[in-house]
Amino acid sequence: MSRTHRILAAVALAALPLAAAAPAPAAPIENKVVVIGIDGTLWSEVLAADAPNLGRLAAEGTLARTSIAPHTTMSCVSWATALTGVWDTKHGIQDNGSTCNPGPFAQYPTVFTQVERERPALTTASIGTWDKIGMIARTGSPKADRVVVTQIDPTGAGVCETTADANATAQAVTAIADDGADLLFTHLDQVDIVGHTLRGIWPQAYRDAIGRADGLVGKITAAVDARAAAYSNERWTILVTTDHGHKPDGGHGGQSAYETASFVLARGAGFAAGAENNGYTLADITPTVLDLLDVPAPANLDGRSMLTGGSGNPAAPVPNTPPVDSGITGSSSGSAQAAMVANPLCVLGSGSASGSASGSFDR
C-alpha cells in the first residue's frame, strides 16, 4: 500500500466514530387536535365566573366572540354544524327531535368520517355526555374509531350531568395521555342544564356550572400539555366552542343576542396569543381540524380553516350580552327548580321546566 493510500485509509477510519455518533433524524411532526364543546355557554358569563382555565386558553390563544344568527339556536343543529362545517341551511337539521337523525350526514359527512376516509391510520374519538352527539359521531362509513356517551350508565339509567361531564373528562384525559388520539371531540353538558333550570332564578348557579366545567377544561388542557412535553414531535391544538347561549331567564331556540351568542377559542401553532379574531365561526371547526390533520376539505363546506382566517367577518361586533346579576331569589317557577336549588348537580323533577335524568331538555 502506498503512503498516500495509507493516509487516506487512516482518515477514513478516523471518521468512522464521527459518522456513528451522528444524531438520528428527528421524528416528523404529528398534528393532534382536541375539540371541547361546552354546551349553552355565554362568554360574557365566563368572564364573570371563576374560570381561570378558559381565561388561560384565551391568553395563550385566539378568541372569537360572534353571533350565529340566523342559525337555529338548538344543540343538535349547532353540533351538527361544528362537526360537518356546514350551517343548518345545508344540513337541514332544525331541532333536537325528528330532524336530528343520521340522514343529513350522508351528504355532509362528519369530520370523523372525513378524516377516517383520507387518513385511516389516524385515531378519532368522540367522548361526550349527550346521546345525540354519539348519534352524530356514529354516522357515516367509516365512523369515529371510538364513540362514548357518558350520560347513560351501563344499566340504561341516566346520571347526574356533573357526573356525566366528569366521566367524559376522565376518558378524554386517558385518550390524550395514554392513546395520543389524533382527533378528540368531547362535549360537556352541565352549563346548559343549569341554564335551563336555574339561570332565570339564580344567575350565580349558571356561573358556578361554568366554573365546574372550567375545572374539567383544566384537566384536559393539563393532559395535552403533559403529553406535548413528553412527545416533542407531537404538536397539539385545542379548540373550544359552544353551540348557543341562554336568555337571561334561561332557555334558547330564538334569535335574541343572548341565544345566538357563540365563541370559538383556538390555542396552538398558528394562533396568536391573547388575540381576538371574530372571523372564526362555529362552522370553521371542521375545516380547521381537516387543515391541521392534512385532510382536504370538501368544496361544499360553509366554514373555512381558522389557520387562514375563518369564514366570518373579523370586525364583527361582540354580542351584546351583559352578565345577569339579579334574579328571583326564591323558587317561583315550579318544584323542579326548587329541587335543583337544593341539589343543582343533578337533573331532577319533571314537567316543562325540567325533564328526566336521561335528558329531555330542549338543549
Domain ranges, ordered by start, for the chain: 30-308
Q: Using an 8 Å Cβ cutoff, are 161 and 347 in contact?
A: yes
* pLDDT, tens digit, 9 for 90 and up, residues 89-133: 999 999 999 999 999 999 999 999 999 999 999 999 999 999 999
Helix, strand, coil share (%) of the chain residues, nearest 5: 40, 15, 45
Residue 2 has pLDDT above 90, yes or no: no
What is the CATH architecture assignment of 30-308?
3-Layer(aba) Sandwich (3.40)
Evaluate whether 34 touches 217 at the Cβ level (below 8 Å): no
Give the model confidence (pLDDT) of 54-69 as tens digits. Answer: 999 999 999 999 999 9
Tens-digit pLDDT profile for residues 196-242: 988 988 899 899 999 999 999 999 999 999 999 999 999 999 999 99
Each residue's pLDDT tens digit, 19-36 = 445 555 677 899 999 999
Q: What is the value of pTM for the model shown? A: 0.87
Residue 85 near residue 283 (C-beta atoms within 8 A):
yes
Q: Where do the DSSP E strands lie in the chain? A: 30-38, 62-67, 124-128, 146-149, 183-188, 234-241, 261-267, 275-276
Percent of the chain clearing pLDDT 70 (strictly above): 82
Rg (CA), the chain: 24
The three cell numbers locating residue 80: 351538527
Q: What whole-number distance in Å separates Cα of residue 240 and Cα of residue 54?
A: 9
37 CB-side CA count, 13 A: 27
The number of beta carbons lying within 10 Å of the beta carbon of residue 70 is 11
C-alpha to C-alpha distance for 101 and 88, rounded to whole angstroms: 13
Question: What does the DSSP assignment read for 193-206?
Answer: HHHHHTTTT-HHHH
What does the alpha-carbon distance between residue 211 and residue 359 come to, in Å, rounded to a whole number? 21
Q: 291-330: buried (b, 16+ CB within 10 Å) or exposed (e) per residue?
A: bbbebebeeebbbbbbbeebbbeeebeebebeebeebeee
pLDDT band at 8 (very low <50, low <70, confident <90, very high): very low
pLDDT at 102 (0 to 100): 97
